[in-house]
Amino acid sequence: MAYRTSFIKQIAAELGFDYCGIAKAVQLDEDAKRLEQWLSKGMNGNMQYMQNHFDLRIDPRKLVPGAKSVITLLMNYFPDEHQLTSSPKVSKYAYGKDYHIIIRKKLTEFLVSLRKEFGSIEGRGFVDSAPVLERSWAQKSGLGWIGKNGNLITKKNGSFFFIASLIVDIDLQYDDQFAKDYCGSCTKCIDHCPTQAILPDKVIDGSKCISYFTIELKEALIPDNMKGKFDDWLFGCDVCQDVCPWNRFSTPHKNETFKPIPEILSFSNKDWEELTEESFKIIFKDSPLKRTSFNGIRRNLSFIKQ
């Protein structure tokens, strides 16, 4: 098991992942209770998919029959360039190419390497698009703690990381769970949240989050009671991460595929307002902004300019 574990962490580094932790595949009973309570209070808003596949979310062995280990991988996306301060804001994770495309390819390569080295292995890779509680597994595998803003925070480099999971049917050496919470008495993320979406006890009301309204909400209109609260966020929101003291340790990524789309950095208010659907499809063809569509961007722009 020691060799297998060492090999896995070596491959993770070679594929460009910044952190790799491993935990035993078990049912997440405590997380199940929290998720059930969260859903019962309607904090998922119109994100109905959060209610689906509850049993799969809490037990990786139902996602991958015979699963024994959950490998959690982190990839830094903190940029070294930023938008014009007067422009509508885009969340940093969406500056470059869609991370789903990039990381899925790496997870496929990861499995190929494992099978080449160890023979027949059953496994599946996931990146933010399947019923996996990634942050819980990251904490269980020793990578960091879940902050008051709901993000996984690493002690060394903060929270600007994509999280991916690789669930496999082989036994490995397991990392110790990250037991300490280093948020302490700090409440900066709670105090600065523009829509008061961050509640005590690490509960995030997704139905109040700016990211929910600007990305997940598919309705033609954003509720009037949110007017004046978006702080010019056009797509997503980074406020709770930007104010987190631990992100003073964030360092720029070195991944060329996450290099910002030039227009993300250079577009002015006028550029966004004059953007046509044809240009949107060309400029943002591989961007996370496609998720909300051209009409969603127009809706969001109109809302923050009211």
Q: Are 272 and 161 within one domain? A: no
- Check residue 100 and give its pLDDT: 93
3-state helix, strand, coil in the chain (%, to 5): 45, 15, 45
Q: Which token pair is 51?
A: 């209610």
pTM (2 decimals)?
0.92
Q: Are 209 and 104 within one domain? A: no
The span from the CA of 59 to the CA of 279, in Å, is 43
Q: How many CA atoms lie within 13 A of 159 on its CB side?
A: 24
Q: Are 13 and 152 within one domain? A: yes
Q: How many domains does the chain have?
A: 2
The span from the CA of 147 to the CA of 303, in Å, is 30
- Check residue 39 and give its pLDDT: 60
- Whether 249 and 303 have beta carbons less than 8 Å apart is answered as no
Whether 54 is in a domain gets the answer yes
Q: Are 39 and 73 within one domain? A: yes
Among candidate residues 168, 199, 223, the one where a domain is terminated = 168
Residue with tokens 């109040």: 208
Q: Are 207 and 283 within one domain? A: yes
Whether 179 is in a domain gets the answer no
Element (DSSP H or E) covering residue 70 = strand 69-76
Among candidate residues 120, 137, 168, the one where a domain is terminated = 168
Listed as ranges, residues in the chain with pLDDT below 50 are none
Element (DSSP H or E) covering residue 58 = helix 54-58
Question: Which sequence positions are flagged as catalytic?
Answer: 128
Q: Are 195 and 156 within one domain? A: no
Q: Are 271 and 205 within one domain? A: yes
Adjacent-strand bridge partners of 152: 146
Q: In this structure, what are the phi and psi dihedrals at residue 101, rounded to the nearest 5 degrees?
A: -60, -45
Whether 254 is in a domain gets the answer no
Q: Are 163 and 220 within one domain? A: no
Whether 66 is in a domain gets the answer yes
Q: Are 163 and 45 within one domain? A: yes
Whether 104 is in a domain gets the answer yes
**Which has the closest alpha carbon to 215: 109, 98, 306?**
98
Q: Are 76 and 204 within one domain? A: no
- Check residue 27 and give its pLDDT: 84
Distance of CA 118 to the CA centre of its chain: 30
Q: Which token pair is 296?
A: 């969603």
Whether 180 is in a domain gets the answer no
- Check residue 50 and give its pLDDT: 53
- Check residue 133 and give its pLDDT: 82
- Domain residues for the domain of 52 are 2-168
Among candidate residues 168, 196, 220, the one where a domain is terminated = 168
Q: Are 89 and 192 within one domain? A: no
C-alpha torsion angle, residues 130, 149, 181, 32 (rounded to 10): -40
Helices (H) and strands (E) in the chain, counts: 13, 10
Coil, strand or helix: which one is 22?
Answer: strand
Whether 183 is in a domain gets the answer no
Q: Are 53 and 156 within one domain? A: yes
Whether 158 is in a domain gets the answer yes
The span from the CA of 250 to the CA of 213, in Å, is 27
